[in-house]
């Protein structure tokens, strides 16, 4: 509720007009029966045609104003609800942008998607109901009740008898629907998770003919979602007939009692008609107000989930007034760095890593899978923070930098090349938004991507499909490398970025990068010894420990781990034996 209130109060002007429309609408709705009763008890009873005509015209004007009020109410209400949900979505999106990897893993990507989309939508539905029904019904109820008592206190007493039953029903439904709503949203998250995994892994699923298994997996979660939704809807829909039964019973009883009073001459016909209208408004308002309570638990669950995501603080914090400029560019030093993933403090993935690199140098990392290579280089742009020790970039601890300034120094090409939907130009400009087309083409050339880019009919304006699916794995890798080159960073980080390239392209690419990066530091993670043989320094990792540092030739002699890797990939001549 705090969340909804916070965002709703940002629309104070619209709220005021919303309130005015509600108020006007109530006066009109309750004014009409009063006019009708006047028409019958004065005009019809005295056969006064002129009076009947006059009241009729007034009623017509009141109806027109009522329609206008209703239309305006719809307008203000939808403006507020769309403003509120758009702001929630935008703020949540911005918050998520600031998350470090840890928070994405903690909350889960599918759950975050559901929070930004479906949870925000649930809030919109609730707000629509709240701003119309929630504002209108309490006022309408009280005003109708006053009119009821004023018109006939004895008949009004029957309404008061029915109210506690209605109240008990509303409270019971609110209580039962809360856990059901929670369950439904949780199942919706799981459904999203499976769907996302399935769609992104469609090729693998087909290649392994695993469609049936996937359908079963999806079916199970879908059934659970269906069951929880069914229970919730069943509860909601069973409430309505119950309310209507009570409603109609009270009405029938009042008409019966009213008829007796008319017969006895203690009540006029017009008054009974107006009375029935007031009762209708009072009970109907109460019933409609109960929908707020029914919808609230669902919206509250969604609001809590959004609030939780808003309150989640990234473990990587940007230092206030962090360093933005340095005297040198491209110097890197790891000083006794130990790192364990959050929540796994007992099992460090990197232990006591110490090494350095300077501009003009290429430093490579090799080791078996899972030895910690990707983890180690992710510590440099602060995707994670070290557990112990420090990482210095140009003599400054990475934690003392303004994060944007630190990352601006780095051209990071991740293991899995990521392209975004949009044009090729837009993708490359991620590296440097001010780069000219000439600079983009030069980066493409360095990344050995000219051959296929030159064949694209639309050149830099070529549309890239979602996830870059209209490019091959090797083409995507080269475009991701071109994007890093566009930045002309001080520090290049290639995380196994050449793995999808053939040997010849790999060699040409490294040769060009060597030439173009004489003033920059290049870090290369690779599985292929041939990719890193020429590096100035190779760092060998084994289960998170640095077990060898040296050139290819030195390591062949000094590191058995390196020798084993090299001898499994190179011929005897290449090994110099
Ligand atoms: N987000 C994470 N949370 C917990 N543990 C992780 C996480 N990411 C990686 N690990 C663990 O850290 C260790 C090192 O993984 P890392 O990806 O750094 O290895 P790598 O040497 O780059 O492997 P590869 O060559 O296969 O890419 C592995 O044991 C892995 O299971």
Longest dimension (CA), the chain: 124
- Residue 577, Cβ density class (10 Å: 0-12 exposed, 13-18 middle, ≥19 buried): exposed
Atom number of ligand 1 nearest to Cα 372? 18
The residue range of the domain holding 197 is 2-311
Residues 497 and 468 in one domain: no
Dihedral sign, Cα of residue 390, residue 396, residue 401, residue 403: negative
CATH number at residue 104: 1.20.1560.10
Q: Which residues pair with 391 in a beta bridge?
A: 334
Question: Quick check: pTM over 0.80?
Answer: no
Q: How far is the CA of 495 from the centre of ligand 1 (A)?
A: 13
Distance CA 537, CA 356 (A): 10
Q: Out of 488, 513, 536, pick the residue that ends a domain.
A: 488
Question: At which of 457, 488, 519 does a domain end?
Answer: 488
- Helix (H) / strand (E) element for 10: namely none
* Ligand 1 contacts CB of residue 12 (under 6 A): no
Calculate ∠ Cα 397-402-103, nearest 5°.
90
Q: Are residues 376 and 499 in the same domain?
A: yes
pLDDT value for 87: 95
- Report the separation in Å between the CA atom of 355 and the middle of ligand 1, taken as the mean of its atom positions: 20
User: Is 318 among the domain residues?
Assistant: no
Residue nearest to atom 1 of ligand 1 (CA): 341
Q: Residue 210: inside a domain, yes or no?
A: yes
pLDDT, position 577 = 60
Closest protein CA for atom 9 of ligand 1: 375
pLDDT of residue 120: 92
Complex-level ipTM: 0.96
Within a domain: 316: no
Regarding whether 370 and 229 lie in a shared domain, the answer is no
Same structural domain, 434 and 499: no
The answer to whether residue 304 is domain-embedded is yes
* Same structural domain, 357 and 422: no
Q: Give backbone dihedrals phi and psi of 359, rounded to 5 degrees, phi first.
A: -55, 140
- Whether 375 is in the pocket of ligand 1, judged by its Cβ within 6 Å, is yes
Q: Ligand 1 centre from 262 Cα, in Å?
A: 86
Angle formed at CA 254 by CA 136 and CA 25, multiple of 5 degrees: 20
Q: Looking at the 3D structure of the chain, how many domains does it have?
A: 3
Q: Looking at ligand 1, which residue's alpha carbon is closest to its atom 8?
A: 375
287 within domain boundaries:
yes
Of 338, 371, 542, the one to substitute when testing ligand 1's pocket (max ligand atoms within 8 A of C-beta) is 371
Ligand 1 neighbourhood includes 374 CB (under 6 angstroms): yes
149 and 262 fall within a common domain: yes
Residue 219 Cβ < 6 Å to ligand 1: no
In a domain, 16, yes or no: yes
- Residues 237 and 382 grouped into a single domain: no
Q: Which of 372, 376, 413, 543 to mutate to test the pocket of ligand 1 (most atoms within 8 A of CB)?
A: 372
C-alpha–C-alpha distance, residues 470 and 460, integer Å? 14
Shortest-distance Cα residue to atom 26 of ligand 1 = 369
Q: Which tens digits make up the pLDDT trace of 219-229?
A: 999 999 999 88
In order along its 577 residues, the chain shows pLDDT tens digits of 788 888 998 999 999 999 899 888 888 888 888 888 888 888 888 888 888 999 899 999 988 998 898 899 999 999 999 999 999 999 999 999 988 888 888 888 878 888 898 889 989 999 988 888 888 888 888 888 888 888 888 888 877 787 788 778 778 877 887 788 778 877 877 887 788 788 877 878 888 888 888 899 999 999 999 998 898 888 878 877 877 888 888 888 888 888 888 888 888 888 888 888 888 888 888 878 877 876 777 788 889 889 999 999 888 888 889 999 999 999 999 999 999 998 888 889 999 999 999 999 999 999 988 899 999 999 999 999 999 999 999 999 999 999 999 999 999 998 888 888 899 999 999 888 899 999 999 999 999 999 899 898 888 999 998 878 888 888 999 999 999 999 999 999 999 888 777 888 888 888 888 888 888 999 999 888 888 888 999 999 999 999 999 999 899 888 889 988 888 887 777 666 6
Domain membership of residue 339 (yes or no) is yes
Residue 90 placed within a domain: yes
Q: Do residues 186 and 229 make contact, with C-beta atoms less than 8 angstroms apart?
A: no
| Per-residue pLDDT, 40 | 86
Element (H, E) at 191: helix 153-200
Instruction: Indicate if 26 and 71 belong to the same structural domain.
Output: yes
C-alpha 92 – ligand 1 centre gap (Å): 29
Among 248, 281, 311, the domain-final residue is 311
Q: What is the pLDDT of residue 42?
A: 85
Give 10-58 pLDDT, tens digit per residue: 999 999 999 899 888 888 888 888 888 888 888 888 888 888 999 899 9
Q: Tell me which of 101, 108, 375 to substitute to probe ligand 1's pocket, judged by most ligand atoms within 8 Å of the beta carbon.
A: 375
Q: Give yes or no: residues 46 and 152 share one domain.
A: yes
Do residues 472 and 564 share a domain? no
pLDDT score recorded for residue 504:
84
Q: Verify whether ligand 1 is closer than 6 Å to residue 371 (CB atom).
A: yes
DSSP 28-92: HHHHHHHHHHHIIIIIITTT-HHHHHHHHHHHHHHHHHHHHHHHHHHHHHHHHHHHHHHHHHHHH
Which CATH number characterizes residue 460's domain?
3.40.50.300
Does residue 236 sit in the same domain as residue 161? yes
Question: In terms of domains, do 276 and 379 share one?
Answer: no
């Amino acid at each position: 509720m705090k969340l909804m209130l916070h965002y709703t109060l940002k629309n104070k002007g619209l709220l005021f007009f919303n309130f005015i429309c509600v108020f006007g609408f109530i006066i009109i709705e309750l004014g009409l029966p009063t006019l009708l009763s006047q028409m019958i008890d004065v005009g019809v009873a005295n056969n006064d045609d002129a009076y009947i005509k006059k009241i009729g015209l007034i009623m017509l004007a009141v109806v027109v104003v009522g329609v206008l009020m209703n239309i305006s109410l719809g307008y203000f209400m939808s403006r507020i609800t769309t403003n509120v949900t758009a702001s929630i979505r935008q703020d949540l999106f911005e918050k998520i942008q600031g998350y470090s990897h840890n928070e994405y893993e903690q909350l889960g990507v599918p759950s975050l998607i559901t929070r930004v989309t479906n949870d925000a939508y649930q809030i919109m539905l609730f707000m629509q109901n709240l701003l119309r029904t929630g504002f209108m019904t309490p006022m309408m109820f009280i005003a109708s009740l006053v009119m009821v008592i004023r018109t006939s206190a004895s008949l009004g007493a029957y309404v008061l008898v029915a109210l506690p039953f209605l109240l008990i029903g509303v409270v019971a439904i609110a209580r039962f629907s809360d856990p059901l709503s929670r369950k439904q949203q949780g199942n919706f998250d799981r459904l999203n998770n499976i769907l996302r995994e399935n769609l992104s892994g469609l090729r693998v699923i087909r290649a392994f003919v695993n469609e049936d298994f996937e359908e079963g997996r999806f079916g199970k979660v879908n059934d659970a979602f269906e069951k929880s939704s069914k229970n919730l809807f069943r509860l909601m829909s069973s409430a309505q007939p119950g309310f209507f039964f009570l409603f109609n019973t009270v009405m029938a009883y009042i008409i019966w009692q009213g008829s007796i009073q008319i017969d006895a001459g203690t009540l006029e016909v017009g008054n009974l008609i107006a009375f029935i209208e007031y009762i209708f408004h009072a009970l109907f308002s109460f019933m409609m107000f109960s929908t707020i309570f029914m919808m609230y638990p669902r919206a509250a669950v969604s609001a809590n989930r959004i609030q939780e995501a808003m309150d989640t603080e990234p473990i990587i914090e940007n230092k206030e007034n962090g360093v933005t400029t340095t005297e040198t560019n491209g110097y890197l030093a790891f000083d006794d760095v130990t790192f364990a993933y959050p929540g796994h403090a007992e099992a460090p993935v990197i232990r006591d890593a110490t090494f350095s690199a300077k501009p003009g140098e290429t430093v490579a990392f090799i080791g078996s899978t899972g030895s910690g290579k990707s983890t180690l280089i992710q510590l440099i742009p602060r995707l994670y923070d070290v557990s112990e020790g420090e990482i210095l970039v140009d003599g400054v601890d990475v934690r003392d930098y303004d994060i944007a300034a630190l990352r601006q120094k780095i051209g990071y090409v991740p293991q899995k090349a990521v392209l975004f939907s949009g044009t090729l130009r837009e993708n490359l400009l991620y590296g440097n938004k001010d780069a000219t087309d000439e600079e983009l083409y030069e980066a493409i050339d360095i990344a050995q991507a000219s051959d296929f880019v030159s064949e694209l009919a639309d050149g830099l304006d070529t549309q890239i499909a979602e996830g870059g699916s209209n490019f091959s794995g090797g083409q995507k890798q080269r475009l991701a490398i071109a994007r890093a080159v566009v930045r002309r960073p001080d520090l290049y980080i290639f995380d196994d970025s050449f793995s999808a390239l053939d040997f010849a392209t790999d060699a040409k690419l490294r040769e060009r990068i060597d030439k173009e990066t004489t003033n920059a530091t290049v870090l290369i993670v690779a599985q292929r010894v041939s990719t890193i043989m020429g590096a100035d320094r190779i760092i060998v990792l084994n289960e998170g420990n640095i077990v060898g540092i040296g050139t290819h030739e030195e390591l062949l002699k000094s590191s058995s781990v390196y020798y084993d890797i090299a001898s499994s990939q190179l011929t005897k001549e290449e090994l110099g034996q």
